[in-house]
């Protein structure tokens, strides 16, 4: 897991600047706090990012310390997985983590934190 804290003024047209894509390890997570919200930025195998809340809904593990497998964020504590598109846990769809629309502009990962994906 890597970590960064963007400034409060990086919200442009509703998109919040979170970090450089290069800061996110391949198939891994990057911890970001934006407006007091702990977030996890992941990099998929195809190099595209995904953004979720960082706190695992199972027991509070930090998802950004986990890894990406088969399109899911895998929690480092008990290996629960969460689909990076929907946030749903494939083994228990009643449990999910919030995911956010994400884009890359000039190598920076941005997310709409006012919407869930």
Distances (CA, A) of 8 to 16, 35, 99, 107, 112: 9, 6, 20, 19, 14
Note whether 77 binds ligand FES by CB under 6 A.
Answer: yes
Q: How far is the CB of 28 from ligand FES (least distance, A)?
A: 16
**Residue 33, Cβ density class (10 Å: 0-12 exposed, 13-18 middle, ≥19 buried):** middle
- Residue 59 touching ligand FES (CB under 6 A): yes
Residue 78 touches ligand FES, criterion: CB under 6 A: yes
When asked if residue 69 is in the footprint of ligand FES (CB under 6 A), the reply is no
Least spacing, CB of residue 82 vs ligand FES, in Å: 9
Report d(CA 26, CA 55) in Å as an integer.
20
The residue ranges that bind ligand FES (CB under 6 A) are 56, 58-61, 75, 77-78, 80
């Amino acid at each position: 897991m890597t970590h960064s804290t963007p400034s409060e003024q990086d919200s442009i047209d509703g998109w919040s600047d979170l970090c450089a894509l290069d800061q996110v390890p391949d198939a891994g997570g990057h911890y970001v706090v934006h407006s007091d919200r702990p977030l996890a930025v992941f990099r998929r195998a195809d190099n595209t990012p995904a953004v979720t809340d960082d706190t695992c809904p199972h027991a509070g593990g930090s998802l950004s310390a986990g890894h990406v497998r088969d399109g899911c964020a895998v929690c480092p504590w008990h290996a629960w997985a969460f689909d990076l598109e929907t946030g749903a846990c494939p083994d228990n769809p009643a449990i999910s983590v919030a995911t956010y629309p994400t884009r890359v502009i000039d190598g920076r990962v941005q997310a709409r934190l006012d919407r869930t994906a």
